[in-house]
């Protein structure tokens, strides 16, 4: 049973560019959450998708947007990249957002470097 997978593993972009990160949830899971983990910091919640809609959102600007597909996979898009967007982006999947959020399974992350 595959766990949460993310692609790509690493990515280098230039300031002002746009980037798309992808996540496939654990088999059977229908909810996807995205977190940003800056170097030396704990993960910070970006948003959560359920039934192809954004259900909750953290304190991130509109440059950060997402999408969930009918197969429950998800994309995170970041526009007009800033140097400060350099971080590890983690995807987590879970069943039913009505359940306690701690039942989340995390992927290995995508390391984004903005130059």
Q: Does 4 bind another protein (CB under 8 A)?
A: yes
Token look-up 């600007």 returns: 61
Contact mark string toward another protein, 27..66, x via CB under 8 A: ------x-x----xxxxxx--x-------x-x--------
Which range binds another protein by CB under 8 A, 13-21, 24-32, 70-78, 105-113? 105-113
Give dist(CA 9, CA 21) in Å, integer: 9
The Cα angle at residue 51 between residues 87 and 20, in degrees rounded to 5: 30
Token look-up 């701690």 returns: 102
Which residues sit at the interface with another protein, rule CB under 8 A?
Answer: 4, 33, 35, 40-45, 48, 56, 58, 90, 92, 97-102, 104-109
């Amino acid at each position: 049973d595959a766990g949460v997978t993310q692609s790509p593993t690493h990515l280098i972009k230039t300031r002002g560019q746009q980037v798309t990160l992808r996540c496939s949830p654990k088999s059977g899971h229908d909810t996807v959450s995205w977190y940003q983990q800056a170097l030396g910091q704990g993960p910070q919640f970006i948003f959560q998708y359920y039934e192809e809609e954004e259900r909750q959102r953290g304190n991130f600007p509109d440059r950060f947007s997402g999408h969930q597909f009918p197969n429950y996979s998800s994309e995170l898009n970041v526009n007009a990249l800033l140097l400060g967007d350099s971080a590890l982006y983690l995807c987590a999947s879970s069943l039913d957002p009505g359940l306690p959020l701690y039942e989340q399974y995390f992927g290995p992350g995508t390391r984004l470097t903005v130059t």
